[in-house]
Structure 1
Amino acid sequence: MAKNPKDQHPLDVTKDFQSLDGIQVLVVDDNADSLFLTTCILESYGSRVITATSALQALEAIKQFKFDIFIFDIAMPEMDGFSLISKVREITLSEKQQIPAIALTALGSEEGYSLALTSGFQSYVNKPVEPTLLVAEITKLINQSSAFNNGKQ
């Protein structure tokens, strides 16, 4: 009997979902190396990745493209990831589904985790990014989002 994805350990989820084929991801990070690494990881699992190096670029991309998931760095100049996700949630309130979002940060703390969740993120991943953990988090959120949206239709 298959387990409910919510009950599985994050690394166990990837056994059931070996790729991210067809998943369109917006990755926002002002650090070029981190952005490149995250993009390479996601593309190696089959995702289509759109990148932005600032919150303003991200907001423009959100107007132009449809995304399945967001991955936002927290520590960015001008507008941090917490402010960006709050702004995105205001923009997308009228849509049927809320696009899942992962906070990405090198500043791992319990306070940061709580702030991420209250700001509008569903998950929190520390840098440097562990590929299988990131893919597991994406898989978990996509599965939860699909289950939620299928139940509401």
Structure 2
Amino acid sequence: MTKNREEPHPQEDTKNFPSLDNLRVLLVDDNEDSLFLTTFILENQGLQVTTATSVTQALETIKDLKFDILISDIAMPEIDGYSLIRKIRNSTLTEQRELPAIALTALSSDESRSMALASGFQSYVNKPVEPTILITEIRRLISNNQTTK
């Protein structure tokens, strides 16, 4: 009797994904601790991280710099992450409109996930951030974005 080999867990099967080295990330979060931790996770994987602590700052940064992916908190004061992604998706600049985006949030309900995806995010990651899940979602989005170009 032969023993069936288990399939690799999707998070462990990274050989088919592109490298993350030097990928440019815009990370938006109003919480300093969360911003620090997420930046550490991303930089540890070779990504170049630019941070913004508000939607206004993020929109100004996007005007000046090109990014490969956006990772944004949802619950922020004044203007939330839903509004940020809507503004990006409605931008006159094609590169901005098509920017792959991940919502980061402590709001872990089906409703908040649906709202994030309906607003224009392609992925949704819960806080506190699990590094393996975040990196897997980045790889998936970048891989999908490269195949659609």
Q: TM-score, normalised by structure 1?
A: 0.86
Does residue 1:82 correspond to 2:75, yes or no? no
- Tell me which amino acid in the other structure corresponds to 1:70: L
State the Cα distance separating 1:22 from its structure 2 match: 1.9
- Tell me which amino acid in the other structure corresponds to 2:37: L
Hey, what's the Cα distance between the residues in 2 that align with 1:9 and 1:125? 18
Size of the aligned set, in residue pairs, is: 142
Aligned-pair identity in percent equals 63
Match of residue 146 from structure 1: 146
State the Cα distance separating 1:20 from its structure 2 match: 1.4
Structure 1 portions without partners, runs of 5+:
1-7
Hey, what's the Cα distance between the residues in 2 that align with 1:132 and 1:108? 18
Match of residue 4 from structure 1: none
Match of residue 24 from structure 2: 24
**Within 5 A, what are the aligned runs for 1:110-125?**
110-125=110-125
Deviations 1:63-111 (A, max 9, x none): 0110000001000001000011000111156349711100000111100
Hey, what's the Cα distance between the residues in 1 that align with 2:92 and 2:99? 8
Hey, what's the Cα distance between the residues in 2 that align with 1:138 and 1:66? 17
CA contact (8 A) 2:90 2:97 kept: no
Hey, what's the Cα distance between the residues in 2 that align with 1:141 and 1:9? 18
Q: CA RMSD in A?
A: 2.0
Hey, what's the Cα distance between the residues in 1 that align with 2:81 and 2:13? 26
- Secondary structure at the residue paired with 2:98? coil
After superposition, the Cα gap between the structure-2 partners of 1:89 and 1:24, relative to the gap in structure 1 and judged at 3 Å, is same
Runs of 4+ in 1 over 6 A off after TM superposition: none
- Tell me which amino acid in the other structure corresponds to 1:117: L
After superposition, the Cα gap between the structure-2 partners of 1:75 and 1:97, relative to the gap in structure 1 and judged at 3 Å, is closer
CA contact (8 A) 1:22 1:48 kept: yes
Whichever structure has more helix as a proportion of its residues is: 1
Match of residue 5 from structure 1: none
**Within 5 A, what are the aligned runs for 1:4-153?**
10-17=10-17, 19-91=19-91, 94-95=94-95, 98-149=98-149
After superposition, the Cα gap between the structure-2 partners of 1:12 and 1:84, relative to the gap in structure 1 and judged at 3 Å, is same
Moved more, 92-101 or 60-69: 92-101
- Secondary structure at the residue paired with 1:91? coil
Structure 2 portions without partners, runs of 5+:
1-7
CA contact (8 A) 1:10 1:140 kept: no
Q: Tell me which structure has the larger Cα radius of gyration.
A: 2
State the Cα distance separating 1:12 from its structure 2 match: 3.4
CA contact (8 A) 2:88 2:96 kept: no
Work out which structure has the larger RCO, using CA pairs closer than 8 Å and 6 or more positions apart in sequence: 1
